[in-house]
């Protein structure tokens, strides 16, 4: 049996980010197996891209998804296209009625893919999309409901890309069940939609918001290119991995919208073996390892395995963080847990055990992770916190300050600033970036994965770290640069499987390098420059 699969053959994934920090988080996504009244289960992927004033857009998107999931769970019919039509119509009515009752303007796209008996059926309203990947081809299944696609005219006109069909807009909704593999012919699309797309091992289904595949006006290229999406789906065969990789790719190009991706990958033993082979070749190429050297390394590994039994395989990550950028100031949220987690939140009055996706704690509280991993949301940031970590936090004037007593964490920011302080006086700060911080053998280890990080010891010593510059801080004020393989070993030992779950750091075998010489932290000549605040370009 293949690990971490649904129906022993499907791997699912989901990832959603704010994208542009000036925007509200209004995307919503769902993927999972929905058990129905007749005992059957439907593997379902949904993306809803909300729009509206105040919180109405986010609410409309969430209400649409909640309505669909509830109605599918109550259904019995195996006529999947008819089921899709009915649940989307009911979702539209739910959002429209709520808008009417609350004088709201919440609208949403809604794109659904359902797998039934190894065939994929889709239902669509708006411009979120469903794709089918077979081999190296990315095939768009849905059609965007834009002014040009529906009414024609000039494809370059100012209103050509305006969405004209949305959930919650009117009392009645036109549900598109077509699969557009043969062009825009509605009759052919409907015929294909009624039959569904036949899937085989190696195929993947992607449902995404338009933020993933928009064209960046600055570069005239998409935030995530076809080849990058295909590569992610064909090479990342763990829960959430392909979704995380493609969304991270788009996010790294500073998109102007929320970005969401939901994936369903059909795998087999042969597919997994081919993926492992591709990964081995990919890791070997950058370091110029020829066939003879590679064979020698494999032989050496086999020889060592006779001397020392290999360690048990690290478990695949089972959860990923869903951002909560609209959290109120001074409140953190335990989004999800991974593994056999044991931990608690300590406030001034009580101790609260952690529960998956159901914890809030205010600033000043201390959270301890005894075993397992927690994904924690703060306003504008995400934390990946492994076992053995204990910390508290506070927020002041848009900055989050984390007080780390022990352990490690990785911080990823959508916006704002985060500082991590420890009792030895070392302060690490990250702005619009990703940073790892750990207390290891009494020495703080700071890893700036990308963007802008700063490291301060005492009042006068500040070092600015740009992406891919990493340092190990020691108590005498010296800094030791580290090699990539050393970073990999460190994070593997600290966090467990896959080094960094957000897919930022790629690990590969590197030639041994000489121990680097330490360098002293610079002492600024001007005390006014010692704060390390600086001006950081915004994302």
Give DSSP secondary structure letters for 314-366: PPPP---PPP-TTPPTTEEEEEEEEEEEEEEEE-SS-EEE--TT-EEEETT-E
Chain centroid offset of residue 340 CA = 22
Say if residues 96 and 56 touch (Cβ distance below 8 Å).
Answer: no
| C-alpha dist (Å) from residue 5 to 135, 335, 438 | 21, 22, 33
Q: Of 398, 473, 437, whose CA–CA distance to 21 is shortest?
A: 398
Instruction: Report pLDDT for 120.
Output: 97
CB-based burial label for 524 (10 Å; 0-12, 13-18, 19+):
middle
In whole angstroms, what is the distance from residue 491 CA to residue 24 CA? Answer: 33
Say if residues 393 and 357 touch (Cβ distance below 8 Å).
Answer: no
In whole angstroms, what is the distance from residue 331 CA to residue 363 CA? Answer: 6
Number of Cβ within 10 Å of residue 7's Cβ equals 11
Quote the DSSP letter at residue 266.
E
| C-alpha dist (Å) from residue 385 to 45, 390, 444 | 28, 9, 16
Instruction: Report pLDDT for 296.
Output: 41
3-state secondary structure of 85: helix
Say if residues 264 and 45 touch (Cβ distance below 8 Å).
Answer: yes
| Rg from Cα positions in the chain | 25
Q: 473 CB contacts (<8 Å, ≥6 apart)?
A: 426, 443, 444, 445, 446, 455, 457, 479
Give DSSP secondary structure letters for 174-199: --B----TT-S-HHHHHHHHHH-EEP
The tokens describing 356, both together, are 């998956």
Residue in this structure with the two tokens 């590569």, named with its chain if needed: 231
Residue in this structure with the two tokens 């300050």, named with its chain if needed: 401
One pLDDT digit (tens) per residue for the chain, 539 residues: 677 899 999 999 999 998 887 778 899 999 999 999 888 999 999 999 999 887 899 999 999 999 999 999 999 989 999 999 999 999 999 999 999 999 999 999 999 999 999 999 999 999 999 999 999 999 999 999 999 998 888 888 888 889 999 999 999 999 999 999 988 888 999 999 999 999 999 999 999 999 999 999 889 999 999 999 999 999 998 899 999 999 999 999 999 999 999 999 999 888 888 776 665 555 444 434 444 433 443 333 433 344 444 444 443 333 333 333 344 445 565 544 444 445 556 655 556 666 544 456 667 677 777 666 677 776 667 777 777 788 877 776 667 788 887 778 777 776 667 777 765 666 777 765 677 777 655 567 777 766 677 777 654 467 777 655 566 665 455 565 666 556 666 665 655 544 343 334 444 333 334 444 443 434 333 433 333 333 333 33
In whole angstroms, what is the distance from residue 403 CA to residue 85 CA? Answer: 51
Sign of CA dihedral 246, 247, 249, 253: positive
In whole angstroms, what is the distance from residue 183 CA to residue 189 CA? Answer: 8
Say if residues 484 and 500 touch (Cβ distance below 8 Å).
Answer: no
The phi, psi pair for 195, rounded to 5°, reads -90, -30
Q: Of 407, 366, 365, whose CA–CA distance to 388 is shortest?
A: 407
The phi, psi pair for 497, rounded to 5°, reads -65, 145
The tokens describing 166, both together, are 């949305």
Residue in this structure with the two tokens 């001397």, named with its chain if needed: 307
In whole angstroms, what is the distance from residue 100 CA to residue 200 CA? Answer: 45
Q: pTM, whole model, 2 decimals?
A: 0.56
In whole angstroms, what is the distance from residue 95 CA to residue 65 CA? Answer: 10
3-state secondary structure of 292: helix
Instruction: Report pLDDT for 201.
Output: 94
Say if residues 497 and 314 touch (Cβ distance below 8 Å).
Answer: yes
CB-based burial label for 354 (10 Å; 0-12, 13-18, 19+):
buried
Q: 288 CB contacts (<8 Å, ≥6 apart)?
A: none
The tokens describing 252, both together, are 């790294």
In whole angstroms, what is the distance from residue 488 CA to residue 509 CA? Answer: 9
In whole angstroms, what is the distance from residue 499 CA to residue 307 CA? Answer: 26
């Amino acid at each position: 049996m293949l690990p971490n699969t649904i129906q022993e053959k499907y791997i699912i994934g989901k990832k959603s980010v704010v994208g542009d920090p000036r925007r509200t988080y209004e995307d919503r996504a769902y993927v999972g197996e929905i058990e129905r009244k007749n005992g059957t289960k439907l593997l379902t992927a949904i993306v809803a891209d909300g729009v509206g004033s105040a919180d109405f857009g986010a609410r409309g998107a969430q209400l649409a998804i909640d309505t669909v999931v509830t109605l599918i769970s109550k259904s019995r019919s195996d006529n999947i296209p008819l089921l899709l039509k009915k649940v989307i119509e009911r979702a539209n009515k739910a959002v429209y009625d709520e808008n009417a009752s609350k004088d709201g303007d919440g609208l949403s796209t809604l794109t659904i893919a359902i797998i039934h008996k190894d065939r994929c059926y889709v239902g669509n309203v708006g411009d979120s999309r469903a794709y089918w990947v077979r081999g190296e081809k990315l095939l768009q299944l849905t059609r965007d409901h834009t002014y040009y696609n529906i009414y024609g005219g000039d494809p370059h006109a100012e209103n050509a890309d305006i969405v004209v069909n949305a959930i919650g807009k009117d009392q009645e909704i036109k549900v598109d069940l077509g699969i557009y593999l043969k062009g825009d012919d509605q009759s052919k699309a409907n015929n294909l939609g009624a039959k569904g797309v036949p899937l085989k091992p190696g195929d993947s289904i992607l449902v995404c918001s338009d933020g993933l595949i928009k064209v960046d006006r600055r570069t005239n290229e998409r935030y995530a290119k076809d080849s990058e999406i295909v590569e992610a789906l064909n090479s990342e065969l763990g829960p959430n991995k392909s979704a995380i990789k493609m969304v991270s790719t788009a996010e790294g190009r500073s998109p102007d919208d929320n970005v969401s991706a939901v994936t369903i990958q059909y795998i087999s033993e042969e597919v997994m073996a081919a993926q492992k082979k591709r990964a081995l070749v990919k890791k070997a190429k950058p370091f110029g390892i020829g066939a003879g050297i590679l064979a020698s390394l494999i032989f050496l590994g086999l020889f060592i395995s006779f001397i020392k039994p290999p360690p048990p395989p690290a478990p695949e990550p089972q959860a990923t963080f869903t951002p909560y950028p609209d959290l109120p100031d001074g409140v953190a949220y335990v989004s999800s847990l991974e593994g056999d987690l044991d931990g608690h939140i300590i406030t001034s009055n009580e101790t609260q055990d952690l529960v998956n996706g159901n914890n809030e704690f205010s600033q000043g509280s201390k959270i301890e992770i005894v075993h397992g991993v927690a994904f924690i949301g703060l306003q504008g940031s995400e934390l990946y916190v492994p076992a053995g970590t204990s910390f508290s936090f506070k927020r002041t004037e848009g900055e989050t300050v984390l007080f780390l007593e022990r352990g490690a964490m990785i911080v990823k920011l959508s916006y704002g600033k985060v500082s991590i302080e420890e009792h030895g006086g070392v302060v690490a700060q990250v702005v619009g970036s990703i940073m790892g911080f750990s207390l290891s053998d009494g020495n703080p280890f700071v890893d700036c994965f990308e963007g802008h990080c700063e490291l301060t010891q005492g009042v006068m010593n500040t070092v600015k770290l740009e992406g891919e510059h990493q340092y190990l801080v020691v108590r005498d004020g010296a800094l030791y640069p580290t090699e990539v393989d050393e970073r990999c070993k460190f994070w593997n030992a600290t966090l467990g499987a896959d080094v960094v779950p957000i897919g930022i750091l790629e690990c590969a075998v590197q030639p041994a390098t000489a121990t680097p010489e330490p360098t002293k932290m610079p002492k600024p000549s001007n005390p006014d420059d010692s704060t390390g605040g600086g001006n950081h370009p915004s994302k």
